[in-house]
Structures are given as C-alpha cells and as structure tokens.
Structure 1
C-alpha cells in the first residue's frame, strides 16, 4: 500500500508541479505527518525533490526530472478505456482505478500534451443516459463485469417480458454494452448468443467454469447487427403520410419542397403509430392504412369535443 502511495505522490508532483503538504495529504487521503514521512522516503531513494518554505512554498521535483514509473495495473488498464464514461467506470467498481490510470497516463505525456489533455477533460463531458426516466438499479453489475473480465460462466435468474417470465440459465458473458444509460449483457448460452438487460437479473451465481469466446466474435459488430435485426422485426408495417417541412424534419424524412411531402414510413403497429403520429399535430396527415387514419380522426374528434366544452 505504501509503495503505491509513494508512486502516486511522485506522479502528482510530476503532473501538477508544486504542491503543499496539505494538498498532497488531501489527494492521498492521509495525514500531513504521513506526507512528510513519504517525502523523506522518496528523497532517501534518490528522487530529486525539494521543499520551499513560506506562503507560496510546497514540494516540487527538480526541473526536467520525469519518472518512468507509469505502469498500469490490470484494473487501471480496464478503467482507462472507460475514461469518457466516468459514471460507467464507477458503476463497474473502477472509479478509483480510473483516477489512478488517468494520473499515470498524464504523467507519461510531455508537458504540452499534458496541458492539452487537461483542457479536454475540463471542456468535454459525455452524459450517456437520456433526459427522462430514472437510472436503472443494477445491483449485479459489478459481479457481471467481473465474470466478463475473468471469462467465467454464471447462472442467471432472469426476468423477461414473455412467459415464462422468470427463467434460470447458465451463460458465458462475452461483453457489456451501455446503451442510453442502460446496461446489457451479451452472452453465449444453450440457444446461442443472447442479450440480457442487467437490471432484469434477479439473482446471479458466479461459477468456476472457464470459457473461450468464439473465434471471430466482435462485440461491436454483434451489437450493431442485433440492433438492425431488432429494427427490422419491430417495423412490420408501413403508413402513407403527408408531411409539412417541419413534420418531415421531426420524422427524419427529406422534404421534397416547401409544401407537403408524401412518403411511406415504417411503423411498429397501429397502436404505436397512433401515439407517435399524434405528437406531430397538424404537421402530418395519415392517408393509409385506413384503420390508422380512422383511429387518429376519432381521437381528434374526442379532443375537439373535450376542449370545446367549458372547464
């Protein structure tokens, strides 16, 4: 533990320049007395650092000195690839490892690139979840992630939307995907490769069984293929509509001019399209299928009668 702390202290000085004993103590979560002892230990080991007295004083390294002690631990290497998603790293139990990895990566950079990296970190933030809806509770996420890292099979007690609603299944975790603030597990099982929502895992039993990911499996390619297949199965019908330029923009359709645009759009179902198209208000007219047009017309008549009445 102390060796790790000494390396961290050294990297802090290399990254930030002069730091007071109190600042170092706050960063390392130790007492100022411990910082004094650590600084003495580094000096005895031949590290060229010195202290400056006074209000503007503190500890600093001799100008031009750079340490090569920037090797990453396994956790830090994993966390480094989640640098754009600090929230995700924290959910996976890698928050502290991410901070340590970033410190070591910054220490390995030349001064001008280190300053540039600092500006990027201060100026850009990726917030993955959508605006509406609370974050999913994922109490088993860290255990699932551990199974992914170590290539160990697990037994899932899982809740799904169709009967039987609760199932138990042995799976081999290939990878995790964070989509719109929701975690998904891609895993191999008795019926092939399937995707499971981590927040729907009711119980999880890690096993000692090792597994090997099939040759040629690519998590990103599999996920994109699954999304395309899902959309193809989702949109089983189509509707013929007329759209104003604003309606075309909101529906993602290229307008044909400044007036109305007639086009066909895929729909999931009459019920789903009814709700989606109503949101476009007067910027859309449904021409077909007749059932959908009649449903929207009936809704409009009901709303007209309701709002023509007195409060």
Structure 2
C-alpha cells in the first residue's frame, strides 16, 4: 500500500508540477505528517524530489526527471487496456492517435504486462452505444471537440424540442460527454438571473450550423467548474423534472423479466423499491414514476398482457379504451379494407 502511495506521489509531481504537502495529503487522503515521511523515503531511494519552504513553496521533481511505466501492477495495466474506446476516439478524430498511444504503452510495459495487455484486448471489447440505435450523423463533433480543447467560443444554430425549434446561441464550450452512444456539448451561454453565465447541455447531432464565435479569441472557464459533477447533477435534475406523477401496476413474472430491456434505471429502481410480495400467480404490485398519462400509455403497452394498471383511474380508463379499439381493429370478421381513424382518446 505504501509503495503504491510513493509511486502516486512521483506521478502527481510529474504530471502537475509543484505541489504543497497539504495538496498531496488531500489528493492521497493521508495526513500531512505522512506526506513528510513519504518524501524522506523517496529521497532516500534516490528519487530527485526537493522541497521549498514558504508561502509559494512545495515539493517538486528535479527538472527533466521522468519515471517509467514499469511501476504498473498487472491490474493497472489491465485497466488501461480497457480504457480505450476506438469508436468514440475515431468520432473525435483521434482514432490514429489512440492506436499510436497503445503502441507506445505496449512498448513501455515489461514483457509480462505486455502479454496481459494483449490478452485483455483479445478477450474484452467495449461497445459504448446502446441497443437499437443507428449511429447519429455528427458533422460538427470534431470542431466542437477542438473548440473545447482550445477554449474558443462558438456560434451555433441549434434544433431543440421546445418552440421556437431553431435557435442561435453564442456559447463557451466547457466539455463533451458521451452518454449511451450519444454525444453532448456542455457549454456556458449568456447570463442567468444571477451573476455569471448559464451552463447548458446541447446534443451534438442537433447542431445545424457551427461557426467561430467572437473574433477576439478565447474565454475564461468558470472557476471550479467540474464537468463530471455537472453531468451527474444534470441527470438527477432531468429525472426530477421529467416525472410528474406515479402509476400503480400489477406486473406478471414475464413483465418483470422483460423490464430491464425496456425501461430506464429510474423506473427499474422504483419497481425494486416498491414491489410487494408476489401473489399466488407470481404477480407483484409496484409503483413507477410517469411523465404524463399519454406517455405512460405507451410505456404500459410495451409490456403487453403482462401488466394491469391499478391507478391512476385516468390511465386505467385510457388503457381500457385503447385496448378495446385495438381489439375492434383486429377483429377476425372485420372487412379487409384497411383501418379507419384511430381512437380519439
């Protein structure tokens, strides 16, 4: 454990430059006193690390010193082998860069770990996009990624769900996120009710046109902006805003088995938390969140005969009316002249 921590200190100083004892302690989740002892051990082992006192002081490595990757453990090398996603890297225009980086990693690893790395790639393949989704056209993804990396503002013509459907935005790109095979741009635009810009999420495939922003150059990122933290908070906010009610269902064993292939994690978590004991036929009662009655109708019919709506009454009646109309349309004695107008409910 201590050897791993010593290596982590060297890699932190190598990648970030000068760091104080307190910064190292916070990063490694140890005490400052432990950092002092580790520094003495590194010096005794011949690692050229030195410390400067004072307010602007800290620890640093002697200029030009670089450690090698031979300190990697087997599990760490395995994890690196799984870290590359060729598809997304190619979409970002980094496919050849990733291939070269993999070659450099293989060359730097000792033979035993190199063999493990090759074996991992032979036996595991990561495929990020979700099922049943064709690849989206992404003509602007590379330009978006370049603007994020170089902190250059962009001017977008963007198609959204709300009216007006097409809008123009001048944005400061802060990051890109790949979620379930879909690329998103996280960017700051304008100002909200308070001070500072408002950070929003844009689906890259919905960018209709893209051009450089203000000609005076770059922008300053918001202080302390955390892309991963923003994304997790936005997902939680999205779930909180999209659900406006609940439905009480009776679910057959077959419906329960199929639900993981048909519903998202929020609905599955609600079923798991609320499901009662199975009855004599194996059916269970559960409560799920719903966006609206009309949307819930489609969700219920995805489960076919294996679900009964108990509440709300409005949804139960809508299911009954729709099912009756479907039965009428599919009756055996119906003339073969095509369907008439569908249900008006």
The Cα of 1:165 is off from its aligned counterpart by 1.9
CA distance in 2, matches of 1:171, 1:148: 11
CA distance in 1, matches of 2:112, 2:95: 26
Q: For 1:36-71, what per-residue CA distance to the aligned partner results, in whole angstroms no more than 9, with x for missing partners?
A: xxxxxxxxxxxxxxxxxxxxxxxxxxxxxxxx8xxx
CA distance in 1, matches of 2:187, 2:81: 21
CA distance in 1, matches of 2:81, 2:171: 25
Match of 2:227 in 1: 219
Which residue among 288, 293, 298 is the counterpart of 1:265?
288
Q: For 1:16-36, what per-residue CA distance to the aligned partner results, in whole angstroms no more than 9, with x for missing partners?
A: xxxxxxxxxxxxxxxxxxxxx
TM-score for both structures, normalised by structure 1: 0.70
The Cα of 1:190 is off from its aligned counterpart by 0.5
Q: For 1:78-124, what per-residue CA distance to the aligned partner results, in whole angstroms no more than 9, with x for missing partners?
A: xx999531111111111111111110011110100011011111211
Match of 1:243 in 2: 251
Q: Which SS does the other structure have where 2:248 is aligned?
A: strand
Unaligned 5+ segments in structure 2 are 1-67, 69-79, 192-197, 260-267, 337-345
The Cα of 1:137 is off from its aligned counterpart by 0.7
CA distance in 2, matches of 1:249, 1:152: 48
The Cα of 1:266 is off from its aligned counterpart by 0.8
The Cα of 1:271 is off from its aligned counterpart by 1.1
Match of 1:17 in 2: none
Asked if 1:200 is matched to 2:220, the reply is no
Match of 2:321 in 1: 298
Contact 2:153–2:170 (CA<8 Å) still a contact in 1?
A: yes
Match of 1:24 in 2: none
CA distance in 1, matches of 2:188, 2:284: 46
Which residue among 276, 299, 310 is the counterpart of 1:276?
299
Unaligned 5+ segments in structure 1 are 1-67, 69-79
Contact 2:172–2:187 (CA<8 Å) still a contact in 1?
A: yes
Normalized per residue, the structure richer in strand is: 1
CA distance in 1, matches of 2:287, 2:330: 32
CA distance in 2, matches of 1:144, 1:164: 23
The Cα of 1:216 is off from its aligned counterpart by 2.1
Contact 1:187–1:195 (CA<8 Å) still a contact in 2?
A: yes
Contact 2:82–2:120 (CA<8 Å) still a contact in 1?
A: no
Contact 2:297–2:319 (CA<8 Å) still a contact in 1?
A: yes
Question: Structure 2 matches for 1:76-87, cutoff 5 A?
Answer: 83-87=83-87
CA distance in 2, matches of 1:199, 1:270: 29
CA distance in 2, matches of 1:117, 1:215: 38
> What is the root-mean-square deviation in Å for CA atoms of aligned residues?
2.4
Contact 1:83–1:98 (CA<8 Å) still a contact in 2?
A: no
Match of 2:105 in 1: 105
Match of 1:146 in 2: 146
CA distance in 2, matches of 1:133, 1:98: 25
Q: Which SS does the other structure have where 1:227 is aligned?
A: helix
Match of 2:183 in 1: 183
The Cα of 1:304 is off from its aligned counterpart by 2.6
TM-score for both structures, normalised by structure 2: 0.63
Q: Which SS does the other structure have where 1:169 is aligned?
A: strand
CA distance in 1, matches of 2:221, 2:91: 24
